[in-house]
Structure 1
Amino acid sequence: MTPNAASISSGPSRRSFLASTAVATAAVAGGMPLLTACGGSDSGSREGATSGKAADKLIPTYVASKTAAKPDLPSKNGSTAGYTSKVDLAKLVTSVPDKLGTGAPFKIMSPFWGSPPKPGCAYYTALDAAAGTKITWQNQDGITYGEKLGAVLASSSIPDMVVVPSWELVGKIASAVTAKFMDLGPYLAGDKVKKYPNLAAIPSDAWRMSIFGGALRGIPMPAAPVPGIAPFYRKDIFDKKGYTVPKSPDEFLSWAKEATSSKAKVWACGDMRWSAAGFFGVLPAGSLGWNIGDDGKLTYRIEHPEYLEHLEWVRKLFDAGVVHPDDKANTGNASQRFTAGQILVYNDNTASWYGLTAEQAKANPDFEIEGMDYFGADGGDPTLYANPPANIWSMIRKGASKETIENALAAANFAAAPYGTKERMFVDYGVEGTHYTVKDGVPVKNDKGNQEVVNAWPMLAAPAPYTAHPDLPEIARKQVEWQQRQGAFVKKTSTFGMNIVEPARYATLSSQFEQLEIDFVRGHKKLSDVQQAISTWKSSGGDKLRDWYKKLLDKNGSGN
């Protein structure tokens, strides 16, 4: 049920940040108007996006699910809905009463983290039978997916359906989306979506972010606006040592020095850049990065004083020797160092709250993980920024037959089934007796289930964000309550909910900063190097890109 998102990368990078957040959405789940189109390119893509009433005409009518189970913890402050009670498996309801697929064959290309199951495995066969589909899965390595996606989109042979993550929408891939994938409006816009009730129950903000090049081209995986990355700490060790959870950057550094003992092979933390962005109120890596401040000025994330401050603070951690040597070398797996007790705090997606707890249940029953609440740079309230309403889409190639389109939509509708339904159970656990057994009313995957029932079908679409771990309900409660606390401090940026295609000439403008940040905090680059890079960014196109964004926002209004 849960891809091993924690091992997507050996060290924090922008791509792994986005991937881990998205995979967390897939694992746990099982906006404002967009901009109007302005400008174009030879490839057929249009710079900008689509907004307001124009967007409303393109998206599906929202119809709340009639089959979703009532959550024990309703969504609050943008959190996911939480389920902590046992669901009566004998009373699961049906969200797809009639098979919408005709059994016509079609191919799907999707990113996959881990070892994909064999074609024709029991899970794929059972899902096809239940949904009325016949899918050939072309699963590709999630780590190198962008390379494969770019090559496929540049070719003349594109699978019938392709999963497109937001973090791969760079360079030529962004323009190819409009050129190579079809407008789904004739099948889903307005009341047409009512043929697919689970798709109709996807929040409208997620659908608005699925407009590319002036048309509805994506079926979204909706995401909650609350932080998807948590600064995790080993509560069992904190309790044993009598440590107090830090509530400011200064307290963190002071605690880190106390907790680190290289002789005992224990270091306080890993690379804390992801969390530091939240501590210092910096727009996170992977966001559009533009926002109109209280002073009315439109600025990019690297232009804020807080940007340098958050990097300098992380640099202090490295300089103080409180970061594990392997994190400094950017090798190995931070989550494994965390479970081994070699580091006591690290960043990861919130899905790891469940994943690591389940993993350590037998080997280390004393293991206890908690999410540290974000704090501000002065120890006060933090300033956090909302995640986009969607960050993964499944798309159908232009030229697909009507039957292929209808079968692809049938598969997506099945995959988007809400919690408490037979279809959701099927997608998340497979077939009882084959992939899981029921113990004390709780489904438990066996080895076959862990190998086959992983991130394929859940990538096609998803219901409104929710969190449920039937075998570890207390973890679900902690996750949602953490989200609710952080959500109280979340703000929407001026570009929130906007699926913007920037001019291609700016595609690589900011690409140097990721490696520069990694090098600076480790002491390989000077502060003056970062400052010079910011100046170069401005003169080599940043200021012109600001003008481009300003025209869009002046014309169409802010996303917040």
Structure 2
Amino acid sequence: MTPNSPSSRPSRRSFLGSTAVAAVAVAGGVPLLAACGGSENTEREGATSAKNAQNLLPSLVASKLAQPDIPAKNGSAAGYTKKVDLSTLGTSVPHKLGTGTPFKIMSPFWGAPPKPDCVYYTQLDKTAGTDITWQNQDGNKYGDKLGAVLASSSIPDMVVVPSWNLTGKIPSAITAKFMDLSPYLAGDKAKKYPNLAAIPTDAWRMGIFGGALRGIPMPTAIAPGITPFYRKDIFDKKGWQPPKSPDEFLSWAKEATSAKAKVYACGDMWWIAQSIFGLQPAGTAGWNIGDDGKLTYRIEHPEYLEALEWTRKLFDAGVVHPDDKARTGDAGQRFTAGQILVYNSNIDDWYRKTAEQATSNPDFRIEGFDIFGPHGGNPVLYAGQPASLWSFIRKGASKDVVHNALAAANFSAAPYGTKERMLVDYGIEGTHYTVKNGVPVKNDRGNAEVLNAWAMLAAPAAYFAHPDFPDVARKQVEWQARMGAFMKKTSTFGMNIIEPPRYANLGTPLIQLELDYARGHKSLSDVQQAISTWKSSGGDKLRDWYKKLLDQNGSGN
């Protein structure tokens, strides 16, 4: 079955590469301050005490179906390594929960959407008891479409919203346009939808928007998801060992690079450099109260400059592929072609690249090396968020529509090892896939129809499962568990934060400056000046805003 991991969704990469942070702030389930558009004042979109927030959440009833072979550890996903036996699949939805009331869903979609009456959609509706009209939208342009729809008077009954689209006026529109689901899901009420009740509580907390439980979450593992991958087959052939410090990496990179042979040590390593030097990566809130009691932003730490300087050393040494320097093409393709030997990407590439190269390049081996600290040894890593995507139901929807939307989400949240999960992920046996030696294999119709619509409505706790390459699932879990041992939560852990609009573009100049500095186009003094400008242009005021937010609602760690 397809992996459900911290970074398995198609647009996760664009989110991780962005420094935009906007959503409703929730500290331990406490909705925080939200901004009034363009105003210097802020208004609460619902200030709820931790006790009251807890009263909004579903009671956790963990699923006992198909226990993982490798339990989650240190914030990792769980792992399943056994072959698929269709005769032993469990049933998580023994009776149709849907009543056939028609409703519409808008969701991001990557690829060409299947026909509305395709057999995949038809069979899922039949099995779940639903009647869904899908309004699939281009995932790469979804933010623009979402903003326009939420600003209109015609909103679909159910809308999927990824965290990376929670920008501009969208967060406030969520509070205004989508309903409170706690009357249907709070406490033991969720037991009517057992797969939703099995979703981890931390993920549900992030579904509190504007003082109410509005979002049905897609849980993610909080252990690191960005992985430094290396070509193990080539390392073994050359007798190399994965580097264990920044200096060791640079030394190896110089040895491994041969511009004449068009082989370079690595791609742009900025993402992983931030982890090596103990920074909260771009794409997180970036604020944290340190041991000294001071609230600081990621760019104010000396480690920020150290990470930038090390990244620049790689470029200056000529060990980074020219196309990575020019920011063209696909680093993953250069990796599989042997043009680069190390690159950083989301952990799902472990499986994707293994499966992609299995036939054409059977000697290909991809591994992830452990993240090291700035002087070697153990790193300091930061927890990711426990949810990254939500589905919402519009205010004014009838009870029948609400019930059917929740029935669909409950079906989508079926755990691994169940008939429902198999249907969502693979479709119909014989029509969309066949099983060979315990491995489900999609055919052309399966690849065309069984894509990412239903799977976006909700999900079980994060897991890895690759029946065709079970060892990859094991390695993914073990890598996350090892890295998770060095992970800590920040003061904004578990929060989706709406920053006041006046600060929306505060950090934008730093995005390009980081790229330019690493590539030798800007000086260290340029970076230092940009940090000073950030402070005087609003950074210090934004610090006061965050301090008030944390003082009133508590720290996420």
| Helix, strand or coil at the partner of 2:44 | coil
Structure 1 stretch displaced more, 549-558 or 335-344? 549-558
Shift of 1:346: 0.7
Shift of 1:115: 2.5
Count of residue correspondences: 547
Q: Distance in 2 between matches of 1:307 and 1:291?
A: 14
1:202-213 counterparts in 2 under 5 A? 202-213=199-210
- 1:106 partner amino acid: F
Q: What does residue 528 of structure 1 align with?
A: 525
- 1:119 partner amino acid: P
Say whether 1:55 aligns with 2:50.
no
Q: Distance in 2 between matches of 1:233 and 1:428?
A: 29
Q: Distance in 1 between matches of 2:424 and 2:300?
A: 44
1:52-201 counterparts in 2 under 5 A? 52-66=50-64, 68-201=65-198
Q: Distance in 1 between matches of 2:151 and 2:61?
A: 37
Q: Distance in 2 between matches of 1:34 and 1:199?
A: 17
> Of the candidates 228, 244, 247, which is equivalent to residue 244 of structure 2?
247
8 Å CA contact 2:90–2:417 kept in 1: the answer is yes
Q: Distance in 2 between matches of 1:525 and 1:437?
A: 55
Q: What does residue 496 of structure 2 align with?
A: 499
8 Å CA contact 2:125–2:132 kept in 1: the answer is yes
Q: Distance in 1 between matches of 2:542 and 2:195?
A: 39
1:341-352 counterparts in 2 under 5 A? 341-352=338-349
Shift of 1:512: 2.6
Say whether 1:383 aligns with 2:380.
yes
Q: What does residue 331 of structure 2 align with?
A: 334
Q: What does residue 25 of structure 1 align with?
A: none
1:424-470 deviations in Å (ceiling 9; x for gaps):
11111110001110111221111221222121111110001111111
8 Å CA contact 1:396–1:405 kept in 2: the answer is yes
8 Å CA contact 1:48–1:502 kept in 2: the answer is no
Q: Which TM-score applies when normalising by structure 2?
A: 0.94
Shift of 1:50: 4.3
Q: Distance in 1 between matches of 2:105 and 2:502?
A: 31
Q: What does residue 510 of structure 1 align with?
A: 507
Say whether 1:305 aligns with 2:302.
yes
Say whether 1:41 aligns with 2:36.
yes
TM-aligned CA distance change 1:164 to 1:296, over 3 Å: same
1:386-401 counterparts in 2 under 5 A? 386-401=383-398
| Helix, strand or coil at the partner of 1:313 | helix
Shift of 1:40: 6.0
1:484-527 deviations in Å (ceiling 9; x for gaps):
11110010001111233222222222223222212221222222
Shift of 1:231: 0.6
TM-aligned CA distance change 1:37 to 1:326, over 3 Å: closer
1:468-479 counterparts in 2 under 5 A? 468-479=465-476
- 2:233 partner amino acid: D
Shift of 1:18: 9.4
Structure 1 stretch displaced more, 313-322 or 105-114? 105-114
Q: Distance in 2 between matches of 1:264 and 1:343?
A: 11
8 Å CA contact 2:97–2:128 kept in 1: the answer is yes
1:204-254 deviations in Å (ceiling 9; x for gaps):
000111111111110000111101110111101111111121011111111
Q: Distance in 1 between matches of 2:48 and 2:494?
A: 11
> Of the candidates 226, 230, 237, which is equivalent to residue 227 of structure 2?
230
- 1:253 partner amino acid: L
| Helix, strand or coil at the partner of 1:231 | strand
Shift of 1:135: 1.5
| Helix, strand or coil at the partner of 2:408 | helix
Q: Distance in 2 between matches of 1:167 and 1:498?
A: 14
Q: Distance in 2 between matches of 1:328 and 1:428?
A: 37
8 Å CA contact 2:31–2:45 kept in 1: the answer is no
Q: Distance in 1 between matches of 2:236 and 2:396?
A: 60
Structure 1 stretch displaced more, 442-451 or 332-341? 442-451
1:383-462 counterparts in 2 under 5 A? 383-462=380-459
8 Å CA contact 2:3–2:465 kept in 1: the answer is no
Percent same amino acid at aligned positions?
74
| Helix, strand or coil at the partner of 2:70 | coil
Shift of 1:45: 7.3
Shift of 1:37: 3.9
| Helix, strand or coil at the partner of 2:253 | helix
Structure 1 stretch displaced more, 133-142 or 253-262? 133-142
Shift of 1:289: 0.8
TM-aligned CA distance change 1:328 to 1:38, over 3 Å: closer
1:386-444 deviations in Å (ceiling 9; x for gaps):
00110100111122222211111111000000111110111111100011101112211
8 Å CA contact 1:45–1:176 kept in 2: the answer is no
Structure 1 stretch displaced more, 41-50 or 445-454? 41-50
- 2:53 partner amino acid: A
- 2:29 partner amino acid: L
Say whether 1:278 aligns with 2:275.
yes
TM-aligned CA distance change 1:464 to 1:51, over 3 Å: farther
Say whether 1:552 aligns with 2:536.
no
| Helix, strand or coil at the partner of 1:53 | helix
Q: Which 5+ residue runs of structure 1 have no aligned equivalent?
A: 20-30
TM-aligned CA distance change 1:246 to 1:42, over 3 Å: closer
Say whether 1:292 aligns with 2:289.
yes
Q: Which 5+ residue runs of structure 2 have no aligned equivalent?
A: 21-25
Shift of 1:8: 6.3
Q: Distance in 1 between matches of 2:114 and 2:254?
A: 45
Q: What does residue 321 of structure 1 align with?
A: 318
| Helix, strand or coil at the partner of 1:95 | coil
1:41-84 deviations in Å (ceiling 9; x for gaps):
37997368645212101111111113x21111111111111111
- 2:540 partner amino acid: D
Q: Distance in 1 between matches of 2:37 and 2:250?
A: 52
8 Å CA contact 2:37–2:500 kept in 1: the answer is no
> Of the candidates 480, 486, 499, which is equivalent to residue 477 of structure 2?
480
8 Å CA contact 1:47–1:502 kept in 2: the answer is no
| Helix, strand or coil at the partner of 1:183 | coil
- 1:62 partner amino acid: L
| Helix, strand or coil at the partner of 1:162 | strand
Shift of 1:477: 0.7
8 Å CA contact 2:268–2:343 kept in 1: the answer is yes
Q: Over aligned residue pairs, what C-alpha RMSD do you find? A: 2.3
